[in-house]
Chains A and B, each alone.
Chain A
Amino acid sequence: MKKIVVAGFGPAAHRLVEALQQRGFDGRVTVIGEEPRPAYDRVALTSYLSGVSAEDLAYPVPSTAVTRLNSRVTGIDREARVVTVEGGEPEPYDVLVLATGSAPFVPPVPGAEHAFVYRTIDDLDAIRMAAKEATDGVVVGGGLLGLEAADALRALGLRTHIVEMSPWLMPRQVDEGGGSVLKSHIEQLGLSVHAGAGVQEIVTDDRGRVAGLRKPDGTLIDAGVVVFSAGIRPRDELARASGLEVGERGGVVVDSGMRTSDPDIYAIGECALAGGMVYGLVGPCFTMAEVAADRIMGGDGTFGGADLSTKLKLLGVEVAQFGAMTGALDVTYMDPVAGVYKKLFISDDARTLLGGICVGDAAPYTSLRSFVGKPLPAPPSDLLFTGGGANLDLPDDAQVCSCNNVSAGTVRTAIADQGCADVPGLKACTRAGTTCGSCVPMLKQLLEKSGVEVSKNLCEHFAHSRAELFDIARVRGITTFSELIAQHGQGRGCDICKPAVASILASLHNGHVLDGERAALQDTNDAFLANIQKNGTYSVVPRIPGGEITPDKLIVIGEVARDFGLYTKITGGQRIDLFGARVEQLPEIWRRLVDAGFESGHAYGKALRTVKSCVGSTWCRYGVQDSVGLAIALELRYRGLRSPHKLKSAVSGCARECAEARSKDFGIIATEQGWNLYVGGNGGFKPRHADLLAGDLTTDELIRTIDRFLMFYIRTADRLQRTSTWLESLDGGLDYLRSVIVDDALGICADLDAHMERHVATYVDEWRATLDDPDKLSRFVSFVNAPGVPDPSIVFAAERGQIKPVVA
């Protein structure tokens, strides 16, 4: 069995382990990482300071690898093929992969040892601590990483200065014109830019604390925090000490298969020198990991350099660069008032696009990046304004997703041959759009232009999507299925459109689901207000809000289960499911449950299911808020709310997250200051962690935000689309959602609020209402001509002291 040792546990190492797993590697992989935590997303590091936790940033730890954290490879015995490990057992290897990354470059100036760097979560923790004592901060470095660090200092409330050696900011991405536009954006935010300036020394006060940064011209910038973020140096010391070939200016020399001068040793990521280049962007580092994994598995993948195009939003300003930064001809658009600068570089015959720069508006980037080195697809002036829009036909070899190296051809194949019909499908199938997400608009274009007509029609009876039908019913005040299908559909409906329309009408009007014609629209679960099981019997789930229940009520459930001979099981949502009821037993069972104070749990409906909770601050020594109280309040508020699919929620009373709130459609985690709201989580077939929508909310703010989130989802989601896929398919994603329901960008929040108030005010327990209505009760029989006769086909056997169904 082959044994692979990976030195370093950053994103490249993580991707390597994943890639090996995907290629069926069945040997042993040991990953040795210096940091106290497994690999995490460094691209999103800044968000750590705005409330995203270290766990949120973490990549899932591959189950197939052995990880040794807080640990470091100190030497390589290439003869014996063993690495020595600080403070632990040596690790023998068949293949060693160096993924040691890079270290921030710290210039050798006096006092530099008092400055911080910006690379790891521990670095950020240290900066955060120091910022508490300071009012001003300086970042040395005005490049991509420097501006990120500046953003972080600003987020920590410091007056922030940026010192950049070059005459303008981001010299590797923009030219002087772009740099000046970028500078004015940043200065408008209150940051000071010192371009064309170096560092003389870091000045400390008489107690040894940082007091400022002196520039070579002698001027002093007063600051309590100094951060160096002026480039990286590959961590090649291990390779150097073991006699592997390294570059003159650092970096472990590798061939196109990522192999070092020792054929048993590979190097990937920021420590590798590939084709004379060290790459500091995550995309090329991932590609290197894939190539190395392929080679280890006997493949012949090669790394032929990488597209260094970048598009990012720094300090609220979009900056993008692609292809070359010079050309025989260039076309420039500059609007200093709006703060927009765009430039295209073109070959001397004015035919070929060589590259471009965008500041303030990166719209052309997404579409034009793929045309670098190819004939201009439209007049340059059009391209500058719109990027050519959806009319451009990308060549198959054009790279769509640079983070994961996915070409337009690969995306087209996924659409044509693998049946991907939407963005989430393409993400799952090709990985395109899963890292930075900037290519998602392009994926949409490719879908639209693929010729695969993505039908939004609900079914053969309605040439409309669910969201469209919702709007039609809402705006035209339609209250019945017959009206809707007569005016906007054809035929008499089916098992797809009838329950969907029933759900829309219930969301809009909140009447009883079995009233009048609506009874005929419901799936059997809603029709009998219970969950059908494989033998045609039903299960019963009374609502237990927040999972809190008195002993008396627990005893009632036990007595009902015993008296009706029901199989009893605790659910994942902190309630109790009673199985094996025949339809004619359901009213008798519910009569007893309702008399004891229970209500329908809507386990049968596309509706709010449960809001589970941990025990919270009332009992738990770690709890910081009353999670049970909030869970009960939320469950009672949203009970009976019909939606495109089921809705689950949970509330955790502290960051330990015992209620698993982040696997829910909306999950709440207590903070010292209030509540963090996460949305779009899912367990099930395709697990997804919920995203942080808003942090440190008061209870009122929380409820208002959830109200709007749920109503916006109910109005716009597809049939049977959970919040997770809805959120992923939403144009603009989480930012857009936030703009709609927090900033009210569409001006619909008052309407959403009123809609939810109406729901809350008109809620009625549908089982109690059913028991009070002889007409509805009359349907609960097995046989229309023999109402008292039980269905003889229903037979049970015994297992572990309870019943189980026997199906012929």
Chain B
Amino acid sequence: MTWVNVCGYQNLPPERGVCALVGDRQVALFRTHDGAVHALGNLDPFSGAYVLSRGIVGTRKGEPTVASPLHKQVFSLVTGHCLDEPEITVPVYHVRLDGDLVQVAVSV
């Protein structure tokens, strides 16, 4: 596992997602209301399109979530599980702040 610098924390708009290209992987980064940063794979497993970073960020029973912008399936930002269809999951990436820098852990 290596930590890869992605962008500045100020590049993450509050309660929205952005997508980062890490190697050839698309990683969706989300900054939630409490300031925390979460990272999921950007591929929406239902549609096959790389769009999860463009979903609406919110909560379901307190758990931070994103809803696919195509067909609105909701995914946990913490576990990557789809909360509407539990057998479906998307990859979760470790993410941390180094000062103002957002870093994502990827296996090389």
Contacts and interface: CB of A to CB of B under 8 A. Distances in A.
Among the interface residues A495, A521, A786, which one has the most CB atoms of the partner chain B within 10 A? A495
B56 A499 contact: yes
B54 A520 contact: no
Interface stretch (A272-280, A527-535, A679-687): A527-535
Given A519-B13, A783-B20, A498 B49 contact: no
Interface string B38-64: 000001000111110011111111101
A532 B51 contact: yes
A494 B55 contact: no
A520 B22 CA distance: 24
A492 interface: yes
B74 interface: yes
Contact of B58 (A492, A523, A784): A492
B69 A532 contact: yes
Interface in A316-330: none
B76 interface: no
A520 B13 contact: yes
A746 interface: no
A528 B60 CA distance: 25
Contacts of A521: 56
Contacts of A517: 14-15
A797 interface: no
A784 B18 contact: yes
B18 A808 contact: no
Contact of A534 (B13, B33, B47): B47
B74 A494 contact: yes
Interface residues of B, number: 40
A87 to B, nearest CB: 57
A494 B19 contact: no
Given A492-B59, A793-B26, A783 B50 contact: no
A782 interface: yes
A522 to B, nearest CB: 8
Interface of A, secondary structure class, is loop
A807 B67 CA distance: 20
A536 B19 CA distance: 13
A460 interface: yes
A792 B33 CA distance: 31
Contacts of A499: 56
A397 interface: no
B69 A523 contact: yes
Contact of B21 (A491, A535, A536, A783): A783
B16 A520 contact: yes
Contacts of B21: 782-783, 785-786, 789
A779 interface: yes
Nearest to A499: B56
Nearest to B33: A492
Given A523-B69, A779-B13, A784 B7 contact: yes
A527 B54 contact: yes
Given A495-B72, A536-B49, A520 B19 contact: no
A469 to B, nearest CB: 16
A751 interface: no
A242 B30 CA distance: 82
B13 A782 contact: no
A785 B58 contact: no
B8 to A, nearest CB: 9
Contacts of B61: 460, 491
A532 B72 CA distance: 13
A278 B34 CA distance: 75
Contacts of B60: 460, 494
A784 B65 contact: no
Contact of A493 (B29, B58, B70): B58
Contacts of A782: 19, 21
A519 B16 contact: yes
A499 B55 CA distance: 12
Interface in A489-516: 491-495, 497-499
B6 interface: yes
Interface in A535-561: 535-536
A494 B59 contact: yes
Given A524-B51, A536-B51, A785-B6, A491 B70 contact: no
A527 B65 CA distance: 18
B64 to A, nearest CB: 8
A808 to B, nearest CB: 5
Contacts of B49: 534-536, 793, 807
Given A492-B58, A519-B13, A536 B50 contact: yes
Interface in B1-38: 6-7, 11-16, 18-22, 24, 26, 29, 32-33
Interface of B: 6-7, 11-16, 18-22, 24, 26, 29, 32-33, 43, 47-51, 54-62, 64-65, 67, 69-70, 72, 74
24 contacts: A491-B59, A494-B59, A494-B60, A494-B67, A495-B56, A495-B74, A498-B58, A519-B16, A520-B16, A523-B56, A523-B69, A532-B54, A532-B69, A532-B70, A534-B47, A782-B19, A782-B21, A784-B11, A784-B19, A785-B6, A786-B20, A791-B26, A793-B43, A808-B48
Enumerate the 8 nearest inter-chain pairs by beta-carbon distance, A residue then B residue, closest first: A495-B67, A494-B58, A524-B69, A536-B49, A784-B18, A495-B56, A520-B15, A491-B59
Given A495-B67, A520-B56, A532-B70, 10 more contacts: A493-B59, A494-B58, A499-B56, A523-B69, A524-B69, A532-B54, A784-B19, A784-B29, A793-B26, A807-B48
